[in-house]
A and B are shown apart, each in its own frame.
Chain A
Amino acid sequence: QLQLVQSGAEMKKPGASVKVSCKASGYTFIHYYMYWVRQAPGQGLEWMGMINPSGGSATYAQRFRGRISMTWDTSTRTVYMELSSLGSEDTAVYYCAREVGDDHMDVWGRGTTVTVSS
């Protein structure tokens, strides 16, 4: 069935990097962009960026440029989001979400909790 399965929780130290995966099933993987959205504890949703698994092009929110990278693997139908130079402010739940109709997110992963602490 249509679903996005994300990797498990991560604990990282300040300055480290984290790579979160999102495995898609139930649809043609390369036909849909994937978005990444994060939510810090008690805070709202924040759009981080998007990637096209067909062409490979990615667009990142201004505040993450230079330390974020989104990649994909067609053979495993998986999208990855890597965030570097982690600080405590990066502690959040990270969601992947499928874009449909070029303008909204119809299927979401269950989220990956990333905790940054010394």
Chain B
Amino acid sequence: QSALTQPASVSGSPGQSITISCTGTSSDVGNYNLVSWYQQHPGKAPKLMIFEVSKWPSGAFNRFSGSKSGNTASLTISGLQAEDEADYYCCSYAGSNIWVFGGGTKLTVL
């Protein structure tokens, strides 16, 4: 099972919006609405931000939103803040109880 494809890095200024893409195949992202997104700060464990493509966990992060079109899922962060600077990973179900992560995207807040 190959890793999902994410851009290595994205950047934006405070207050702006950015979008991170996550491209898979018709066997994973394209076949299931089971994409989640995780934020990871250096030296810390990942933190759930979005699940089932576009749902927020409790303690919602309204500036974070998710979507999907075909084999590509996307995470949009609006109103960028300094604390959003982190690595972001998508994760998708790939069938047969198998899950696959994206390679990760480093977000820099300028």
Contact = CB atoms under 8 A, between A and B. Distances in A.
Given A61-B1, A103-B52, A105-B48, A44 B89 contact: yes
Contact of B57 (A47, A95, A106, A108): A106
A85 interface: no
A96 to B, nearest CB: 10
Interface residues on A, range: 20 to 34
B52 A104 contact: yes
B52 A110 contact: no
B46 A59 contact: no
A45 B1 contact: no
B62 interface: no
Secondary structure class of chain A's binding surface, majority of residues: strand
A37 B100 CA distance: 10
A50 interface: yes
B34 A103 contact: yes
A111 B45 contact: yes
B66 to A, nearest CB: 11
Contacts of A101: 51-52
B69 interface: no
Given A45-B46, A47-B91, 7 more contacts: A37-B101, A45-B38, A45-B91, A45-B104, A61-B1, A103-B34, A108-B47
7 contacts: A44-B104, A46-B3, A47-B91, A62-B98, A104-B51, A105-B46, A110-B45
